[in-house]
Amino acid sequence: MPEGHTLHRLAGALDHAFAGTTPTVTSPQGRFADGAALLTGRPLESAEAYGKHLFVRFAGDAVLNVHLGLIGSFDVLPYADPAGPPAPVGAVRVRLVNDSAYADLRGATTVQLVTPAEMAATIARLGPDPLRAGTAGNEPERSLARLARTTRPVAECLMDQTIIAGVGNLYRCEVLFRHRVDPFVPGAKVKKRTWLTIWDDLIELMRLGVAFGQILTLQDQVIEAKTILGERDPTAYDPGWAGLMPGERGDFVRGRTGGHFPRDFAVYQRDGLPCLVCGSRIRTRVLAGRNLFWCGRCQRRH
């Protein structure tokens, strides 16, 4: 399932390709024909992400709200053929086309037109988003308050979008391991300092995820990624195009997995293999509907 960094990267790509233009909006597959008819011919103002939600604002207070769900994808691509972009392949629910780019949305669970007020209401139901840290409503204290009211395990709370927005299974497994946190400690028993450490780390990890289009959690990859980004000031991060790798600035990206680094993790899908730190076997079990992976020996912190 796409995690928050994918949505923020996608928002940046859509914003870069379409903001300030008036794309033609269609529904080649037909299931969004009415919405497309309403949006086509309107200037596209901006695209932004909050957690796993994407919001594309059009003139006249129309907002396209997308949630990719488990298998959705939204590909943003350039084209140069004066005859137009290539014909849609597969079940394209929504297609945006301007004179230099096209974007195809497939397989999303939510595709709807909302008003700015409805968009604000959706955001208000979500917990703070680490990729929006530093903006109003995205203080970690807000998630701490919700955490303090639950006895559910912290690994489940990290997947609860009303507690913290944008974190998916991979980030939850890896960030808990990085800080040696017991995944089963009840939310209310998580120390404030532990949660703030997790929050701060997620800000950094997810920003790298946006920049590289892939989840990086192994410390040597994290260090290399930060070096590549030139030690840029993380507080200067703009959740749009400015967060991308320097080489990609001005290019189009697919909003999908990048390939700069090998896809390696410390615990995710490493069940049965030795822990990279202590050598004991990585364990797995379903929690919050997804497979949790952890090291029972290393992860004891509350």
Binding region for Zn ion (CB under 5 A):
275, 277-278, 295, 297-298
List the structure tokens of 114. 């909302």
What is the smallest separation between the CB atom of 295 and Zn ion, expressed in angstroms? 3
Question: Which residues are known to be catalytic?
Answer: 2-3, 52, 290
For residue 99, how many other CB atoms are within 10 A of its CB? 11
- Cβ distance 239 to 48 under 8 Å? yes
Provide the minimum distance between the beta carbon of 243 and Zn ion in the complex, in angstroms, as a whole number.
32
| Closer residue to Zn ion in complex, CB, 183/213 | 183
Q: Which is nearer to Zn ion, 109 or 280 (CB)?
A: 280
Of 111 and 298, the one with the shorter C-beta distance to Zn ion is: 298
Pairing of strands 24-26, 92-97: antiparallel
Q: What distance lies between CA 269 and its chain's CA centroid?
A: 20
Dihedral pair phi/psi, residue 94, rounded to 5°? -135, 135
Q: Which residues, 6+ apart, have CB-to-CB distance to 205 below 8 Å?
A: 171, 174, 175, 215, 216, 217, 222
Q: Please, what is the minimum distance in Å from the beta carbon of residue 201 to Zn ion?
A: 18
Q: Rank residues 244 and 275 by Cβ distance to Zn ion and give the closer one.
A: 275
H helices, E strands: number in the chain: 8, 10
Q: CB of 297: closest distance to Zn ion in angstroms?
A: 5
